[in-house]
Amino acid sequence: MLKKRFTLAALACAAISFFASGSAALAQTDYPTKPVKIIVPFPPGGTSDVMGRMVADELSKILKQPFIVDNIGGAGGIVGTERASKMTPDGYTLIQTGVGQSAVAHGLDPNLKYNSMTDFIHISQVNSGPNVLVVNTATPYKSVKDIVDYAKANPGKLDYGFTHAASGHMAMELFKQTTGINLTGISYRGGGPMLTDLLGGTIPMMFINQDAALPYVRAGKLRAIAVSSAQRNPLYPDVPTIAESGYKGYEALSWSGISAIKGTPQPIIDKLEAAIALAMKSDAIKQRMAAVGFIIPEQGSKPYTAFVKKEIDTWTRVIKTAGIKPE
């Protein structure tokens, strides 16, 4: 009799467990059942915000629930990313990860309050684009060789502009280390004033995002010397890469992607991964990306996770070598 009661109790427990797990699985399969928030850790209007809203619009169509961008700016993306790391891992809060907050930040601050590799699940990369090495057209420089030759003959006498810890700053530091030249950096609080000084001839050169440089290059106000990607950029088909200009292996990219908080159930991650891959194939996204010179990278969690790790290692090494400190 005791054995029979024990068996019935075990079956009851098994049934409860089965239905509970089944309900959880069903809930994850039905995901999303309410609006999903994507934290973009930058203010509205910039490139990161545009990329975040572009993906949110397509995911809303595919998954039949609103994907809403929540801009939480501050400290180059660190404030919003840190806040996201502490939120509930249920798939209803996602975070836009990117080069500054997810890679460069680790090189700048060893006491960062989040870990990009252990606090997040990287679902898929969204965009990748180069910086462009541009010079004022009044300068004599027409190639990477021209710049390197002058800098080696005149150590420290050639200036450049940079915004602290931005992708252009990192591209220039890697350029200096790769070519072995000594340049003098002029720090700016933002890209607008720096661009104004470049156009006015106050500084002779800088790295700038490919989309921001294009109108000035086309108007003949700036000269594009090289792009920082491994391959030529569609917006600049006649502009060589730094790698093909004699510095094999050089690559410095501006990029972003979508990640979830560590602990988010795998079925939800799988569903988001498939949905993002589908979104990136849409004509709307492909046309918009092509118009601003961004490339759609390889999709999926595995390649994006490996890419983030590689970027952390690269920029931590570059920052340490350059002796750059947080501001």
- Provide the 8-state DSSP code for 31: -
Euclidean distance between CA atoms 180 and 144, whole angstroms: 13
- Please indicate, yes or no, if residue 90 is contained in any of the structural domains: yes
Asked if 157 and 205 sit in the same domain, the reply is: yes
pLDDT reported for residue 190: 85
Alpha carbons 282 and 151: distance in angstroms, whole number:
45
Residues 54 and 136 in one domain: no
pLDDT digits (tens, 9 = 90+) for 68-106: 999 999 998 999 999 999 999 999 999 999 999 999 999
Q: Is residue 187 part of a domain?
A: yes
Domain count for the chain, please give it.
2
Instruction: Classify strands 222-227 and 36-40 as parallel, antiparallel or unpaired.
Output: unpaired
Question: What pLDDT is recorded for position 11?
Answer: 42
CB-side neighbour CA atoms (13 Å) of 276:
31
Q: Are residues 134 and 193 in the same domain?
A: yes
Whether residues 116 and 259 share a domain: the answer is: yes
> Do 51 and 67 share a domain, yes or no?
yes
- Identify the pLDDT of residue 28: 57
pLDDT tens figures, 169-185: 999 999 999 999 999 99
Look at residues 245, 279, 296 and tell me which one is the last residue of a structural domain.
Answer: 245
User: How confident is the model at residue 326, as a pLDDT?
Assistant: 86
Domain span holding position 271: 28-129+253-322
For position 8, what pLDDT does the model report? 45
Asked, for residue 18, whether it belongs to a domain, the answer is no
Q: Is 14 within a domain?
A: no
Domain match, 194 and 92 both: no
Q: Are residues 62 and 167 in the same domain?
A: no
Residue 99 lies in a domain: yes
What is the SS3 assignment for 187? strand
Amino acid at 80: G
- List average pLDDT for each run of 10 residues in the chain, which is 327 residues long: 45 43 51 98 92 98 98 94 98 97 95 97 98 98 98 98 94 98 95 95 97 96 98 96 98 97 98 98 96 95 98 98 91
CATH code: domain of residue 113:
3.40.190.150
| Residue 93 and residue 261 in contact, taking contact as beta carbons nearer than 8 Å | yes
Note whether 155 and 106 are same-domain residues.
Answer: no
Same domain, 154 and 223: yes
Please tell me whether residues 207 and 311 are part of one structural domain: no
pLDDT recorded at residue 46: 87
Can you say whether the dihedral through the CA atoms of 214, 208, 126, 85 is positive or negative? negative
End-of-domain residue from the set 245, 266, 294: 245
**295 shares a domain with 272:** yes
Same domain, 50 and 141: no
Considering 190, 216, 245, which residue would you say is the last residue of a domain? 245
